[in-house]
Amino acid sequence: MANVGLFLLVLLIITLQSMAEGFHKARLKLTEREITFPRWPLVEQMDEHLTTLKLILGSKDEIYAGGGRHLFRLNFQKNQGQTMVQRIPIPCDTVKTDCGITVMQPGRDGYPLFVCTAVKEVQQGTCCYKDVNGSTNCTSIYGGGEPALLTGEILYTTQSGVKDKDGIYRTRLYNVKDQMKPPSSRSDQQYVKIIERKLVSKLYAFYTEKNHDKDPDSDIFTPRVSQVCMADLGGSKETLQFQWTSQLSSRLSCGDPSRKLYYTELLDVAVLPSEDGADARVYGLFRNGWEMRAVCVYAMNDIDGVFNNSSPKPTKTLSRRPGECVQESRNLPSDLLIYMRNDPEMEDWVGPIGHSNPLLVSRSQYSHIQVGRVEGTEGQEGHNVLLLSTECGAVHKVLENSSDPFIIAEYHPFKPGTHILSMLLDSSQKKLYVSSNAEVVQIDLRNCNVYGDQCADCILARDPYCGWDRNQKRCSTYSEDSIQDVEDGNVHKCTDGPVIDPSTEGPQQGDADTIDISESSRHFLPCPVHSHHAEYRWMQGGEERQSIMDSQQEQLVLLIDGMRAEDEGLYQCEAREGDYRKTVVQYELRMSSAVGGLKSSPLALALLLLLLLFTLLR
């Protein structure tokens, strides 16, 4: 009797726990048991513990990874040869200490890569175009680092967390003297991303600024975007010479304005270009003081609109509007130049698209974001997919939906607890690269067979990259002939008919394994959990049997606590998701009279205790 009491208590705890977790959990957990993640170890090649690692796409299935004093070319192509982790020499190789990569950008003109290195505390850096054979074309720059942007021979860099020197810098390669600096001394800025907008010839920089305000009610951080004109040549000899004359900033708003609840620390930014190039979407990943994360989406046009139309603070009557791009900034009136020296900020904040709430709010400790798009076919809507890495080494694949984001899967390419340093999406190949300080792993976003081998499994996955191939009868890369329902995951699309009957899905009645259990002995029936959005239960003779969810092993366990004649029969583990039902596994139990069965009691009891312990400690 005590056993049953304990059992019910455990069930209660489990139910309460799953209610608290809510429905925003990943539908599938995908580990190396389900997928092989192609990976390249870096750690054997290094004598240094990396804290940053940047990834740049090379040609197909090829990645450049650089950090500290190390630069590698990694080839993830199948049937690869031996020398596919290639070390590329950088100028630091000749300098002993404190030298490291500061900038890494895609190259041009047959040079796939552009890399800058600098010795710490030295303002000057060396930048080189590099080809795969290590051949180079080098020049020096004035400093600054990532986030950076190379457009033609113009290199934009940023400086973060350097006292009085934070901001945006510009250098013309092969002409170190031609450079631009921030208009004022700033500290405690942390730059996250810089983006060029060719349409208006402006550059936008996204960053978090630490507040010096001692008011305990105000947030520690302010997230901001600032603009500079790409044609800016600096001010007159007297004011702002070689310094930005067009820099304006605005606050980014992400949160619930009605409750004055904001996410203020900008952690990462991803950009999704629009089809016509006109209005890209900017995805910001934020954190608040309670370790909550939020993703807000901004339209480039809205950002531009704030800089065009809002009035800058402090309000002042000036001879012309601040921040407009002009041909010759050196001739700007001095009242404007003097005003720009104080780093004006716009009155209006930049709000998310449609003034909406965050797209996603989560307790998962997200650190990086990438965004991909899957175009629809034949008048079908396309879909956006967010890829979010967590602080403990996992990656969430999330279907964007303004009302209800859906976590398609949680990938576990690393050991639990691994710190992810960077993430890069190859949109053309639909592959995601994720790096720790020890390795780079590739995740194929079109790995569709993991969802299962039934049409319903494929539809329930709601993965825009995948669809049910009716000819090959498998879940594979989405095409216009696929059966798919990303919006609702409606399994009726598979049959054009009524609810799928469990007797037609999964194992058939005759397939049940028979298990002989001796009288009075204990036995466990495991049922593997695939979808965390489904409800699993053990059924026998049309009745549900009490069972335990073993979250560690991801299985639903039915305990036969002393085999009796009434326990004989067919046991089926059934999964229900929406109105889809399926038999996952089934067993036929028979009582054998022989004494001392397969599973002896002490072992069964020990297992039960372990299960309880796991559940309670979770």
Q: Which residues bind ligand NAG (CB under 6 A)?
A: 109, 111, 129, 131-133, 135, 137, 174, 200, 301, 304-305, 308, 401-404, 487-488
Residue whose CB is less far from ligand NAG, 127 or 573: 127
Our CB check for ligand NAG shows the closer of 281 and 412 to be: 281
d(CA 358, CA 286): 10
Tokens of 586: 């089934």
Task: Write out the DSSP string of 110-178.
Answer: T--EEEEEEETT-S-EEEEEE-TT--EEEEEE---EEEEEEETTEEEEEE-S-TTT-EEEEEETTEEEE
Pick between residue 321 and residue 590 the one whose CB is nearest to ligand NAG. 321
Give the nearest distance from C-beta 585 to ligand NAG in angstroms. 30
Task: Please state the closest distance from residue 56 (CB atom) to ligand NAG, in A.
Answer: 16
**CA angle 95-99-103, nearest 5°?**
125
Q: How far is the CB of 348 from ligand NAG (least distance, A)?
A: 13
Angle, CA 438 vertex, CA 128 and CA 407 arms, to 5°: 105
Q: How far is the CB of 324 from ligand NAG (least distance, A)?
A: 7
Nearest approach, Cβ of residue 407 and ligand NAG (Å) = 13
Given the complex with ligand NAG, which of 138 and 607 has the nearer CB atom? 138
Q: Which is nearer to ligand NAG, 132 or 230 (CB)?
A: 132
Closer to ligand NAG by CB, 97 or 133: give it: 133
What does the alpha-carbon distance between residue 276 and residue 300 come to, in Å, rounded to a whole number?
Answer: 13
Q: Name 74's Cβ contacts closer than 8 Å, sequence gap at least 6.
A: 40, 62, 63, 64, 65, 84, 85, 86, 440
Pairing of β 136-141 and β 474-477: unpaired
Angstrom CA distances, 353 to 55, 272, 381, stand at: 29, 14, 18
Output 137 or 601, the one with its CB closest to ligand NAG: 137
> Shortest approach of ligand NAG to residue 424 CB, angstroms?
23
DSSP for 440-473?
EEEEETT-GGGG-SSHHHHHHTT-TTEEEETTTT
C-alpha atoms less than 13 angstroms from C-alpha of 295 in its C-beta half-sphere: 31
- Cβ proximity to ligand NAG: between 166 and 304 the closer is 304
Q: What is residue 550's three-state secondary structure? A: strand
Q: How far is the CB of 401 from ligand NAG (least distance, A)?
A: 4
Amino acid at 137: N
178 vs 554, beta carbon nearer ligand NAG? 178
Helices first, then strands: H and E counts in the chain: 5, 43
Q: Which is nearer to ligand NAG, 7 or 111 (CB)?
A: 111
Q: How far apart are CA 205 and CA 120, in angstroms?
A: 24
Q: What are phi and psi of 90, to 5 degrees?
A: -130, 160
SS3 of the chain: helix, strand, coil, percent, to 5: 15, 40, 45
The DSSP bridge pattern shows strands 580-592 and 513-518 to be parallel
**CB closer to ligand NAG, 200 vs 392:** 200
Q: Using the CB atoms, write b or e for 99-130: b if 16+ within 10 Å.
A: bbbbbbbebeeebbbbbbbbbeeeeebbbbbb
State how far the Cα of 159 lies from the Cα of 87, in Å rounded to an integer.
Answer: 28
- 174/242 with CB nearer ligand NAG: 174
If the CB atoms of residues 241 and 401 are measured against ligand NAG, the closer one turns out to be: 401
Asked if 475 and 447 touch (Cβ cutoff 8 Å), the reply is no
Sign of CA dihedral 3, 4, 5, 11: positive
Tokens of 299: 């339209």
What's the min distance (Å) between Cβ of 488 and ligand NAG?
6
- Residue where the block lists tokens 């690869």: 80
List, edge to edge, every strand of the sheet that includes 265-272. 265-272, 281-287, 293-299, 360-362
Q: Which is nearer to ligand NAG, 34 or 131 (CB)?
A: 131
**C-beta of 405: minimal distance to ligand NAG in Å?**
9
Q: Which residues partner with 576 through β-bridges?
A: 535, 581
- Min dist. Cβ of residue 302 to ligand NAG (A): 7
Min dist. Cβ of residue 301 to ligand NAG (A):
5
Q: Which is nearer to ligand NAG, 203 or 443 (CB)?
A: 203
Q: What angle do CA 302, 306, 307 make, to 5 degrees?
A: 120
Min dist. Cβ of residue 430 to ligand NAG (A): 20
User: Helix 2-21 vs helix 601-617: angle between axes, to the nearest 10 degrees?
Assistant: 30
Structure tokens, 131: 């080809």
Smallest distance from ligand NAG to CB 129, Å? 5
Minimal distance, residue 107 CB to ligand NAG, in Å: 7
What minimum distance in Å lies between the beta carbon of 346 and ligand NAG?
A: 13
**What is the DSSP secondary structure assignment for residue 565, as one 8-state letter?**
G
What is the nearest approach in angstroms of ligand NAG to the Cβ of residue 278? 10
Residue whose CB is less far from ligand NAG, 93 or 487: 487
